[in-house]
Amino acid sequence: MLFAATLAFFPVITVARVLHPPTVNLMLIPTIANVSQEQQLTQNFLDVHFTPKTGVKVNVNMAATLLTTDYASQVQLYLTTNDSSMDIFMIDVVWPADFSKYLVDLKAMIPPELSQIHNPAIWENNIVYGRHVAIPFFADYGVFYYRDDLLAKYGFPNPPATWDEMEEMVQAVTKHEPTIVGYVAQFNAYEGLTCNIMEWLLSADAGPVLYPNLTVTLDNPNTREILNRTRNWFTNGVTPKYALTYAEADAREKFQSGNALFMRHWPSASKTMQQANVPFSFKMTGLPGSTNATKFAATLGGWNLALSKATKNVNASVAALLFMATADFQKFRFLTTGLLPTVMSLYEDPDVCAHIDCSLFGKLRVAVRPSSSSGPHYLEISRILYTTINTFLGQKVDLDTAIDTVVLQIEQTIGTYTQIIMSNAQYTTLKDTLALVFVTLAVFGIASCLCLIFFITWYRRHQVMIAASPEFLTLIHVGVIIEFSSIFLYVVKPNSAICIIQPFVLTLGYAVAYSALMTKTWRVYRIFDAKFAKVGQSLTFCKLIKFVGFYIFVNLGILLAWVFISPPSDTAILQTSHSAYLTCDSAYDTIFVSCLFTLNGLMLVFGSWLAYKTREIDEVYRESFYIAIIMYNTLIWGSMSAGLVFIDVLGNEVHFVVRSVSILMACFGTLALLMGPKLKAVFYPVDQEAADVFVMSDDPRSGEFTNSLSGARLSYSKSVTARKSSESVQVRVDYRCGSSTIFLSNWQAATLRLFESSDGMVVVFTKVGKHAKMGSRALNGFALAADENIQVVRMEESGELNVATALVRLPDGGLYEFMSGDPVFSSAIERLKVPLKRKSIFLTPYLFQEGVMVAKKDFNLPKHNEVDVPNLHVIKALQSLESRGLVNTRFSWQYYYYFLNDAGIEYLRKFLHLPVEIVPRTHIKTAKPAGIRPGREERPQRERREGGDGYRRRNDGEKKEGASGDFRPEFRGGVGRGGPRPAQE
């Protein structure tokens, strides 16, 4: 009767057959090892029982793969490309939802009685959103095969009911049968492993992977227990490691060859092995369970037949489909291939029950794959399951990672992940310890800014404050306060208002602070640059504030555009499979943040350039060194923050820490570098006398450079004051330096210059050139304090080459090697050998005793006439005293005359710890002899020259001469200026 209903389509088909005999192409995946046999048997049955009665020719085509995953890709390619070369496809029972939109709805073409003879669960599974897209072809259930002959041999009369019993039997049998493995199944990464996973979960009572409400329930104790058990099979000898690549055919061949004790497979394997006449006894039963109550878990398998929408023979194809759904066709398929029928009446057929235990299939506990609950996403969910679990079984990931990966990817695939964890998304609050620490620091920073604003206001008329522009300093601090305040906005729950306010506060605080700092520096640059001097002096605070306002307006414009185009809003960001955090996000945040960073980064670069251009201005009017560090510090911390806060996986806590550290470091660095020197200048003013340095150079900028070289060794706390002098020691040398003789640098030509100050000496190497300026063209240098000297390690002179070399060691261990042909090179090295402090000790007793000292202008004189030091040391020591106003100097006839003044007397008295009654001899008044008053009449008359008027005249051509070379004026002991002359003889 059912077959007669199928013939209802024949009138239409018969009429069409007269003109064009219909042909239907059928695509099947092989179900037995002998693919050609299966194809031929099926083709012959259709040709004999279907084609003669309908005139429809059915061509049976076999797929070129045994893997269902590969076959699914082939079917998908045919259907998605509307390929009409295939009409009917064999599809897995879990595929209808995925392919439904490419399949013909058969609902109106199926006779009502056909639905009543098939398994109801399998029949209903083919209805997708009210469309009947497939007809059952055969059913499959996962079953357990075992070698009953081996079990009986080693004392096991029954198959295992639990997994523990199976493991015990494997250990007992394989101990005596080393060539036999314990258990094989479908462990390869494909759909077969998904079927095994469903059976494992049901056998452990772990529940389904996906509930109808789209809740993923994989992470539970029972799931963890069964997955750990299966993984241990590969390490304790139950299952060989190479079985990780097994599919259906591989497992069956292993068992069929007699080399496996247990196997999980489909019922069709029984027919294949019977036809192969295996030389041992085996039986089929249900799979073991974790307990006896959970055994016989079986994944519902099977395949359907579906009609492609691209077919050009709808009626003929429908007739073929209905014929292959009949009991006669399914009985034929069972008897030839062992494929279980879906027609339930066949399980009472004696021919069928003669080959299988029909009662067994009534005991099976069906494990359903999540095809209906996942809808069109099943194939992707199955892929996630079998790829991740295969990796876990292969010992490549741990269980936590495997479960987290499966849960995360499945929830992301079905679109429920964000919905599930959105309500539990985390955010930073004051309850967090780190948040409390950073907020406390921000409060401290704000309080510091307020105190500094009060300090600026109180000392606004101080020279340091006036030079630094109190108005701009106050504006900078206001901007820093706004930046500190932005930290408070990151410790509250994000919402639309907070997300909009956050970038406004942070950006505007930065713009106010650093634009004011840049504008202040720009004004100093314009004042001291000759080209803009008049313009710079006219730049009042009211005019300059317009530049700050313009810069803030540009930043504000970018922020407003951001808000109007795509305002930031609170968004949950997925961090792990079980956690998310709330943050502020926008579709265009990358674009607008990049614009803000570019604008403010260029401002930092421009500010650094201004700091460089004003580096030579008096320190009172600029802080170029500190401003450059402020700009660099802000740029580094800002770049670091921008790079890390966009990495979602770091989480909200890391983002908050990075952002807060960046803000605090930039703000506190600005306060310390900007206000630190001013606080020191106000509360700890420097003695100008101690800060002045006598520099032997014609370049007034050399004083500043001297300070920069000697900062680590000399105690100069302000820019030094350079004074011009007619004398300077300059030597043309080649030099090299290093930490040892092995690691000396390359030779370099330079001009060596020596400068002495009140508390030390500076040695500078400048570029060779007539107009080389030390301040801008210095190459190297070092400094010596007054009580330090260098050690001359080696001093050699070469008469043939007319050069001298010297190797000297500095007090800190550094080495300098010099080579020079300059005649004063040796004396320059000698100057460095004796500390200035020791030189002063040589000179001061004699100078205070006599009150006056004479020195010949001969820098190469090895010894002074009165003190046992080189003549050059005497001159330089007295010049140092002169620079401090302690002696008066006269120069006449190639001699220096130094007179100790009152200030010098007091200075040396304190230095030598002398009482006030002791004075120099020049200040001692002696009694004059009575009766003789030296006068003009008592002096010997000077002879008049002939014809003269009493004056000596030189002849033509006679050179003007001064005192002779051996002229040495001297001051006799006890006789000073104003004392009595010796009696005339």
Q: What is the mean pLDDT of the chain?
A: 78
Q: What is the pLDDT of residue 642?
A: 72
Q: Where are the alpha helices (DSSP H) in 788-857?
A: 825-833, 836-850
Instruction: Tell me what the mean pLDDT of segment 413-417 comes to.
Output: 72
Q: What is the pLDDT of residue 840?
A: 52
Q: What angle do CA 393, 398, 403 make, to 5 degrees?
A: 85
The more confident residue out of 871 and 308 is 308
Instruction: Tell me what the mean pLDDT of segment 872-893 comes to.
Output: 80
pLDDT tens, residue by residue, 86-100 = 999 999 888 888 888
3-class secondary structure, 704: helix
CA neighbor of 384 nearest in space, from 577, 546, 102? 577
Query: b/e string for 130-155 if b means 16 or more Cβ within 10 A?
Result: ebbbbbbbbbbbbbbbbbbebbeeee
The more confident residue out of 806 and 531 is 806
Query: b/e string for 519-530 if b means 16 or more Cβ within 10 A?
Result: bbbbbbbbbbee
pLDDT tens, residue by residue, 18-70 = 445 689 999 999 988 888 998 999 999 999 999 998 889 999 999 988 888 88
Write out the H or E segment, with its range, that includes residue 219. none
* pLDDT for 257 beyond 60: yes
Q: What is the pLDDT of residue 229?
A: 94
Model confidence at 423, pLDDT cuts 50, 70, 90, reads low
Reported residue count of the chain is: 985
* pLDDT for 688 beyond 60: no
Strand partners, 815: 738, 809
Instruction: Tell me what the mean pLDDT of segment 505-522 comes to.
Output: 84
* pLDDT for 605 beyond 60: yes
Q: Which fold has domain 842-921?
A: Arc Repressor Mutant, subunit A (1.10.10)
Q: Please report, for the chain, the start and end positions of each structural domain, with discontinuous segments joined by +.
A: 23-137+304-341, 143-301+358-420, 433-567+587-683, 842-921
* pLDDT for 727 beyond 60: no
3-class secondary structure, 250: helix
| CB 822, CB 729: distance < 8 Å | no
- When the candidates are 1.20.1070.10, 3.30.420.40, 3.40.309.10, 3.40.470.10, the CATH number that belongs to 433-567+587-683 is 1.20.1070.10
Q: What is the pLDDT of residue 166?
A: 95
Q: Whose structure tokens read 């004004």? A: 523
State the Cα–Cα distance between residues 140 and 302, nearest whole angstrom.
Answer: 4
Model confidence at 770, pLDDT cuts 50, 70, 90, reads very low
State the Cα–Cα distance between residues 439 and 434, nearest whole angstrom.
Answer: 9
Q: What is the pLDDT of residue 160?
A: 95
Q: What is the CATH number of domain 23-137+304-341?
A: 3.40.190.10
| CB 103, CB 391: distance < 8 Å | no
Instruction: Tell me what the mean pLDDT of segment 799-826 comes to.
Output: 78
Q: What is the pLDDT of residue 975?
A: 45
3-class secondary structure, 904: helix
- Let me know if 200 is exposed, middle or buried by CB neighbors in 10 A (0-12, 13-18, 19+): buried
Average the pLDDT over each of 139-143, 647-651, 684-688 and give the range with the smallest value.
Answer: 684-688
The number of beta carbons lying within 10 Å of the beta carbon of residue 235 is: 10
Q: What is the pLDDT of residue 689?
A: 36
CA neighbor of 858 nearest in space, from 895, 825, 830, 898? 895
State the Cα–Cα distance between residues 772 and 494, nearest whole angstrom.
Answer: 62
Do the two domains 23-137+304-341 and 433-567+587-683 of this chain adopt the same fold?
no
* pLDDT for 622 beyond 60: no
Q: Where are the alpha helices (DSSP H) in 645-773?
A: 651-683, 688-691, 702-710
pLDDT tens, residue by residue, 897-953 = 888 888 888 877 776 667 777 778 777 766 555 555 544 444 555 444 444 444 444
- When the candidates are 3.40.50.720, 1.10.260.40, 3.40.190.10, 2.40.30.170, the CATH number that belongs to 143-301+358-420 is 3.40.190.10
CA neighbor of 286 nearest in space, from 370, 386, 162, 180? 162
| CB 617, CB 546: distance < 8 Å | no
* pLDDT for 958 beyond 50: no
Average the pLDDT over each of 178-192, 385-399, 705-719, 756-770 and give the range with the smallest value.
Answer: 705-719
Q: What is the pLDDT of residue 541?
A: 66
CA neighbor of 44 nearest in space, from 332, 305, 307, 272? 332
pLDDT tens, residue by residue, 263-298 = 999 888 888 898 888 999 999 999 999 999 999 999
Q: What is the pLDDT of residue 928?
A: 57
205 Ramachandran zone, left/alpha/beta (phi>0; psi -120 to 50): left
* pLDDT for 183 beyond 90: yes
Q: What is the pLDDT of residue 881?
A: 77
Model confidence at 222, pLDDT cuts 50, 70, 90, reads very high
Model confidence at 716, pLDDT cuts 50, 70, 90, reads very low
